[in-house]
Amino acid sequence: MTKVKEWPFGITPDNYPEFMGRSSEHTTRKGKDMAGYFQGTPEPEKVIYEVYEAETTGHICMALTILKPGKVGKEYHMTKGHYHEDQEAGEIYVCLKGKGIIIMQTKDGLNGEIELEPGAVASIPPKWAHRTVNVGKKDFVMLAIYPATSGHDYGSIEKSGFLKRVIEEKGKPRIF
C-alpha cells in the first residue's frame, strides 16, 4: 500500500474523487465476485462496489467505498463485510453521500445496525463484523478509518453469512 501524499488535505462530499487519485489500492467487486452473498444471483459483470484504500499515517488507514445503488432481487446492494484479524481493531465510518445502513454482529450472536446519511459517523467497536448496505437511489459514498494493523477476515462471513439481511418490502428497506 502506497502512502497518500504527505500533505494535509480535505475531503468533502464534492471533491472525494480527488482522494481516489491519492490511493493506490483499488478493488472492484462485481456480481461474479459476490456469488453466495446475496439470496439471489447477481449479474456477473454488474459493479456492486469499489474501494480505494490509502495509508495516511504509520498507524491509520483510510478507504473510500462507493457502493452502487440497486438490488439483487429484493436485496439491496451491499459489501461483503468482514471481521478484523486484529481483535483490538475497531473502525470508524464517515458518510459523504447517499443513504446506507451498517449491519453489525459479533461471533457471540449480538447484532445491531446504524443508519448513515451525509455528515454522520459510525463507531464500530473491536470484534464486531460490519457490512454496508446502500438503501438509497444514488451512490453511497463513505470513508472508513481503521488501524493499520486491522487486517480483514472475510472468511468467517463467507462461511456463515450475516445474521440479518436488508430487503425491500413495500418500497422500503426492512431488516430481517
Under the binding rule (CB under 8 A), the answer on residue 96 touching a copy of itself is: yes
Under the binding rule (CB under 8 A), the answer on residue 116 touching a copy of itself is: yes
| Of 66 and 122, CB closest to a copy of itself | 122
The DSSP secondary-structure symbol of 112 reads E
Question: Measured from the CB of residue 110, what is the shortest distance to a copy of itself in angstroms?
Answer: 8
Under the binding rule (CB under 8 A), the answer on residue 62 touching a copy of itself is: yes
What number of chain residues touch a copy of itself (CB under 8 A)? Answer: 45
CA geometry: angle 16, 54, 44, nearest 5 deg: 75
Give the DSSP letter string of 17-85.
HHHHHH--EEEEEEGGGGTTTSSS---TT-EEEEEEEEE-SSSEEEEEEEEPP-EETTEEPB---BEES
Q: Which residues contact 166 (CB under 8 A, 6 or more apart)?
A: 75, 76, 78, 101, 103, 133, 135, 173, 174, 175, 176
Element (DSSP H or E) covering residue 153: strand 152-153
Which of 76, 83, 128, 140 is in the footprint of a copy of itself by CB under 8 A?
A: 128
Site string for a copy of itself, 22-61 (x = CB under 8 A): ----------------------------------xxxxx-
| Of 8 and 36, CB closest to a copy of itself | 8
The residue ranges that bind a copy of itself (CB under 8 A) are 4, 6-13, 56-60, 62, 86, 88-90, 92, 94, 96, 102, 104, 112, 114-126, 128, 130, 143, 145-147, 149
